[in-house]
Chain A
């Protein structure tokens, strides 16, 4: 699985959009971009994934650059409950382990 680079931590004001960047310059053609988050003391939660088109669901939007070397997870209206560690993972969609990096610790400020 390709490596990813994320900022260690970010702050965002409550009610604003939180934009979390991820670099994955060595991504290969069959690898997808996945985002998970882990709220303190809970199990990881799937957020969204995509291959090359932008994706949106009820939780977030995923913007992938045309060259697929980076992506941004957007939480459109952050709330205090979005405070968590966010993991960007690139992997082939098959039955296999997930390799979690250090992620971005997102603090939503009241």
Chain B
């Protein structure tokens, strides 16, 4: 059973461009969480999704950021009009429906905005 997969692992965008980060949860997992880690800082929760539903987006910036987890395919974290302050590592975690508190993390996507 493959672990949580994220791609790309590294993403470079110029200011003003869009960034799309993908997360494929572990097989059978229907819950996805996104976290952000700014340089030299701790992990901060962003959003919690179940298939086709956003459960908790209390950690999402109000503008430019959106997330989805469609019925088919990976979860997508989308950042529009990126700014330098968006440079960070973005981690996705997934959990199974029977035990939604068990979060398994992916390797992360490192976004660099130039």
A43 at the interface (CB under 8 A from B): yes
Docked CA distance A99–B58 (Å): 12
Q: Mark B85-113, 1 if CB is under 8 A from A, else 0.
A: 00001010101000111111111100000
How many residues belonging to A are interface residues under a CB distance threshold of 8 Å? 20
How many residues belonging to B are interface residues under a CB distance threshold of 8 Å? 27
Shortest Cβ gap from A41 to chain B (Å): 8
CB < 8 Å A-B pair total: 56
A96 touches B101 (CB 8 A): yes
Asked whether A95 and B43 contact (CB < 8 A) given A44-B105, A46-B104, the answer is no
B95 touches A100 (CB 8 A): no
Docked CA distance A100–B101 (Å): 14
Which residue of B48, B101, B108 is within 8 Å of A43 (Cβ)? B108
